[in-house]
Structure 1
Amino acid sequence: MPSDAPAPSSGFADQIDQPVHATIARWSASLSQSSALLAAADWGMHLALSPGKRLELASLALGYAEQLVHYALECALHPACTPACVPVPARDRRFAQDEWHHWPFNLLHQSFLLTEQWWVAATHGVWGVEKHHQDMVAFAARQLLDMFSPGNLVLTNPVVLRRTWNEGGANLLRGALYAMDDMERQISQRPPAGAEDFTVGVNVGVTPGKVVLKNRLMELIQYTPTTPTVHPEPVLVVPAWIMKYYILDLSPHNSLIKYLVDQGHTVFCISWKNPGAEDRDLGMDDYLELGFDAALDAVNAIVPKRKVHATGYCLGGTLLAIAAAAMARDGDERLASMTLFAAQTDFTEPGELALFVDESQVSLLEAQMAQAGYLTAGQMAGAFQLLRSYDLLWSHLVNQHLLGERAKMNDLMAWNADATRMPARMHSQYLRRLFLNDDLSEGRYPVRGKPVALGDIDVPTFMVGTETDHVAPWRSVYKLQYMCPTEITFVLTSGGHNAGIVSEPGHPHRHFRMQTRPAGGTHLSADDWQAQAPDFQGSWWPEWAKWLRQHSSAPAKPPRMGMPGHPPLGDAPGVYVLEK
């Protein structure tokens, strides 16, 4: 049975169970309650059978209570110099303001941090609990604690209280108006406030170019050269279809595509169709054949007899790695190099996103997708928001609804609100073959009826991971080095999954580490690599441009726009990117 196939079941059972599970998914924000209950039961029963662990937790609670009482007494006697029970970590912004260090708010935030520590101890190290369940319970405990943080309430947040006193409550009135506006926009399915100031083709996604190929799944854009000569080997960009391509072509000052064009490269980029219910049967093979394969054939027709620098971002990078492995297996030598941005090829340790990918969760999504034909961006956004609940939820609510400060919309935020969907069949295959079964790194992933092996890839490879990536953790991205013996240059840059890639020269507070492992060289563990790789200030873009030049031929005249005998179909950014 194929690895992406559902378990055998009678048609009669499916007719009853599928609508029931789809209804459950709608009422549970597409999160499996069964999976959560199983995790809680596993942890609770094993904790009940572990008297030593319970005694340890009781002792820890008494010790923390004693610490807090001692801290309160010291604060009363020496308010200016009492050391905290739990120093606030440098990266923890929840209690960073000075107001949190004055009575009684110092006691509130110290009590909260001690409670967090107790729950970390309570949810870890319980005999017999399955690791996935342990991680789920620990994650749920953290989410519940974040919900009840003293920073989220008016009366226990000193920053909010000071602002309310100084403004006579005007901040709370503004916050209430902002909350009403947000709710109205959500109900009417309009983008967040300020997103209307960024329009694709007007002030984002404006690098000049032509649509040179269009099929039912994608448009291929060829960008107009800006230099008298170009490097002969073109660059083909494969973005993820979970996002719209113009994250790589935002405003002119931070467009990676414009940067490449201005560096003298002939650049092509795929713009994926935003699928609807009629596209429910599109699978991973279609994204390979109608996407990458079709785009590569078109690039070869426009720039004949030249190898191609292929570049993939996120899920587009995973697809590119699959394609490169299939090409190596079949003796296809059309690639000059491969570049992967925040792209996983081994899914054994995908980070906290794995909390939302197990059999129960995938089956629930499949039931819901069977009715709609696709997965909506809102269903995905909930999981991503929980992974960074403070940054994406609670700090936003506090700043906007309590402090009355609405963050100014920027191009990256507007892009993030420009949602896409994913076909039912493709997403099911992606979750089962890659996340659940890890078929790609295990050498079981089939292309054209035969499995591919990442170890066959033999083109120079440039990889970028980002330090705070919650979608594709950099240590997971790094794992290609263990499977592929080719020359690999790995970059670890500051920022997250999106902001770390949109990291233009001149962007403040950017830094990166970079090191090259030669073909056949001894690999390092991720931690050893991080300790040894030199640290650089600024953007990694110039280093990538330099790397591309080193793997390119001498400059020549730019190629024609469009395929021979087929005039361009229209101007960039095309029509697929405009679909809602």
Structure 2
Amino acid sequence: MSDPRDPSGKNPPGEPSLDDYLIKDPSSFALNLARMIEQAGKAASAWIEPREKGLKNDLLADPMTDMVKTLSKLSEYWLSDPVRALEAQTRLFSSFLAIWTNSIRRMAGETTEAVVTPDPKDKRFQDEDWTKNAFFDFLKQVYLVTGKWALDLVERTEGLDDHSRLKATFYVRQIINAASPTNFILTNPELFKETVASNGLNLVYGMQMLTEDIIAGKGDLRLRQADHSYFRLGENLATTPGKVVARNDLAEIIQYAPTTEKVFERPLLICPPWINKYYILDLSPEKSLIRWLVDQGHTVFVISWVNPDARHADKDWEAYIREGIQFGLDTVERRTGERKINAIGYCVGGTLLSAALALMAREGDDRVKSATFFTTQVDFEDAGDLKVFVDEEQISALEKAMFSEGYLDGMKMLTAFNMLRSSDLIWPYVVNNYMRGKDPLPFDLLYWNADATRLSAANHSFYLRNCYLENRLSRGKMVLAGHRISLADINIPIYSLAAKEDHIAPAPSVFTGSQCFGGDVTYVLAGSGHIAGVINPPQKRKYQYWTGGKAEGDLQDWLNNAQEHPGSWWPHWQEWIENKGAKKVFPRHIQSNDSDVLDDAPGFYVRLHT
């Protein structure tokens, strides 16, 4: 019988090769495994040491406790009725049987169709052996079928309230993402082949990186999503020329240098979220919204929030409004002589701005003449997956942890945001860094994402309770500075931008919230997500946006009648803002002897790391 392989000893084209899975140098492989175990011990020590010294307490606000309680409700429903449990098991085993039968037929040389295939957007199963190798194809299909079955159990569980169902779906999805065969060396053909090819050296490098990242996180894993050594604030990030022209305990105000012969009479104040640093709006020059705004003729001021510590424990929303937004407005007025000001708020910075405008309406402060909100929620009834972390029990536990320190550690919030898209923001980097032993690529957006900030205890507690838990802002029940404020009191023109694939401020939630304001609202829906939908320079010619009528009724009905436009929404906003006040004046240059100048942009506060 002839040998089916070619003279080189390799399998025919299209057939998987076993050579790639065979260890060629057992002694080197064994040595590297020993080195890996040694590095793993160092990683374990880095994790244990701060706990032995009492610097870490994992019992406070531990999300694992809530996950176990939530999934226990799920298990109780399915296991309490033998018929129901048998029916669920039968559905799963019938799928397994179909996969097994196909595998047997395939081994016999028959052509079969997969019982289940990955979503085309799923990047995890791109290696050809996931399809060509019968073993890995079997693992892939079993995993996909089991994951679908588990999510189906949540959907079919009766008696769960909406919040418990949301939490159960979220936690089950986290387990599914964590259990993917792509996350383990022996069940991932690409990892397996790389490990064999390097004689396990990739695992040594991976454990070294794991140790470094636990040390960097002071006992917690600070997952690297980008090459941090590449970026320098003020050099290749946050490079738009400007000066810090005011500073207090909570914020710096940055004024940017003009680049046009004339500027709009109305200056522009930007309120970014305090959960992250402001320079998401001033990344590399070609991505910088701030630079683009300056080049359109705007006199741009930005609030740069301090990275709070225990001294800021009692800084609540009123403090952030008085010492942040109104401090910024005072600075703009002093620097330009203008009382008519345009304002922009991004994410929770927009939520704060909306509350500030409602308070200012009650107090007779009418300096803001138009407001723009980027992916901003003011109605939190359908606030998406972040509500998983918000109920009375979890908030109380979190408050206990926060008020003992005076703040919430930035890594806690970063982890929560990453979990919203763990299949994109956690597990690919776990695999790349700690199993493949490769440094992540330099990516400005992910560098910014990892540059976490702490959250002052009073501020974060007020936000969680008044917005996520009780939804007081949209209901006109929020109390600030002794006033019960209402968004209906805000009668200025508003530009409300949502992002279609936003996991943090879902587009339907932003749409509903846009109906709470008393003035004219222009609702615009951008393509992509919470960041890419906003930071979308026109020259990139990426994504699209939709415009339509008033934000009334249901988002899908609005979208059915909306007009789609290719590319960035930035020029559309520019046209909108010009219609609110197109008069121009001479530029407001910052003089070299300006006594207000405290520092060059990007300032001091943005450099305060967690």
2:475 match: secondary structure: coil
1:157 equivalent in alignment to 2:195: no
Shift of 1:566: 5.8
Spell out the pairing of 1:72-471 with structure 2 (5 A cutoff). 72-77=103-108, 81-102=111-132, 103-167=134-198, 169-187=200-218, 192=224, 194-471=227-504
Distance 2:164 2:374 in 1: 31
Report the AA paired with residue 360 of structure 1: E
Equivalent residue for 2:570, pick from 521, 534, 541: 541
Shift of 1:368: 0.9
Residues 88, 95 of structure 1: 8 Å contact kept = yes
1:572 equivalent in alignment to 2:572: no
Distance 2:109 2:583 in 1: 71
Distance 1:404 1:45 in 2: 41
- Change in CA separation of 1:77 and 1:526 when aligned onto 2, cut-off 3 Å: farther
Shift of 1:370: 1.6
Report the AA paired with residue 577 of structure 1: V
Report the AA paired with residue 66 of structure 1: L
Residues 307, 606 of structure 2: 8 Å contact kept = yes
Residues 29, 382 of structure 1: 8 Å contact kept = no
Report the AA paired with residue 179 of structure 1: L
- Change in CA separation of 1:452 and 1:556 when aligned onto 2, cut-off 3 Å: same
Equivalent residue for 1:511, pick from 543, 550, 561: 543
Report the AA paired with residue 110 of structure 1: Q
Normalization by structure 1: what TM-score? 0.88
2:156 match: secondary structure: coil
Q: Which has the higher contact order (CA 8 A, sep 6+)?
A: 1
Residues 56, 219 of structure 2: 8 Å contact kept = no
Distance 2:564 2:390 in 1: 35
- Change in CA separation of 1:263 and 1:528 when aligned onto 2, cut-off 3 Å: same
Spell out the pairing of 1:57-76 with structure 2 (5 A cutoff). 57-76=88-107
Report the AA paired with residue 127 of structure 2: Q
Distance 1:473 1:357 in 2: 16
Shift of 1:188: 8.2
> What is aligned with 2:14?
none
Residues 143, 389 of structure 1: 8 Å contact kept = yes
1:265 match: secondary structure: coil
Shift of 1:266: 0.5
Distance 2:432 2:238 in 1: 30
Report the AA paired with residue 140 of structure 1: Y
Residues 548, 558 of structure 2: 8 Å contact kept = no
Distance 1:285 1:460 in 2: 24
Report the AA paired with residue 317 of structure 1: G
Gaps in structure 2 of 5+ consecutive residues: 1-53
Distance 2:458 2:187 in 1: 48
- Change in CA separation of 1:282 and 1:423 when aligned onto 2, cut-off 3 Å: same
Distance 1:522 1:248 in 2: 26
Deviates more, 1:69-78 or 1:150-159: 69-78
Shift of 1:25: 8.8
2:253 match: secondary structure: strand
Shift of 1:463: 2.0
2:539 match: secondary structure: coil
The number of residue pairs the alignment matches comes to: 552
Distance 2:75 2:449 in 1: 39
Distance 2:413 2:460 in 1: 11
Q: What do you get for the CA RMSD once the two structures are aligned?
A: 2.7
Deviates more, 1:262-271 or 1:448-457: 448-457
Give the share of equivalent positions with the same residue, in percent.
36
Distance 1:280 1:178 in 2: 34
Residues 238, 317 of structure 1: 8 Å contact kept = yes
> What is aligned with 2:19?
none
- Change in CA separation of 1:222 and 1:31 when aligned onto 2, cut-off 3 Å: same
> What is aligned with 1:10?
none
Report the AA paired with residue 89 of structure 1: D
- Change in CA separation of 1:28 and 1:473 when aligned onto 2, cut-off 3 Å: farther
**Which structure would you say has the larger Rg?**
2
Shift of 1:60: 1.2
Normalization by structure 2: what TM-score? 0.84
Distance 2:148 2:441 in 1: 35
2:337 match: secondary structure: coil
Shift of 1:412: 2.0
Superposed CA offset, 1:240-288 (max 9, x none): 1111111111222211111100111110101111111111111110001
Superposed CA offset, 1:95-137 (max 9, x none): 2333211212111111111101111122222221223223323
Report the AA paired with residue 479 of structure 1: T
Deviates more, 1:384-393 or 1:174-183: 174-183
Equivalent residue for 1:556, pick from 562, 585, 590: 585
Shift of 1:191: 9.3
Distance 1:71 1:457 in 2: 63
Distance 2:396 2:164 in 1: 18
Distance 2:185 2:243 in 1: 53
- Change in CA separation of 1:98 and 1:475 when aligned onto 2, cut-off 3 Å: farther
Residues 487, 518 of structure 2: 8 Å contact kept = no
Shift of 1:334: 2.2
Shift of 1:291: 0.9
Distance 2:319 2:181 in 1: 50
1:120 match: secondary structure: helix
Residues 47, 127 of structure 1: 8 Å contact kept = no
Superposed CA offset, 1:323-357 (max 9, x none): 22233445543222111112110111111111111
Distance 1:235 1:178 in 2: 43
Distance 2:191 2:232 in 1: 35
- Change in CA separation of 1:26 and 1:177 when aligned onto 2, cut-off 3 Å: closer
- Change in CA separation of 1:492 and 1:26 when aligned onto 2, cut-off 3 Å: farther
2:234 match: secondary structure: coil
- Change in CA separation of 1:72 and 1:239 when aligned onto 2, cut-off 3 Å: same
Residues 151, 169 of structure 2: 8 Å contact kept = yes
Distance 1:235 1:112 in 2: 51
Superposed CA offset, 1:351-370 (max 9, x none): 11111111111111111112
Report the AA paired with residue 460 of structure 2: H
1:219 match: secondary structure: strand
Distance 1:33 1:154 in 2: 26
Distance 1:422 1:115 in 2: 38
Residues 32, 364 of structure 1: 8 Å contact kept = no
Distance 1:439 1:504 in 2: 35
Residues 34, 360 of structure 1: 8 Å contact kept = no
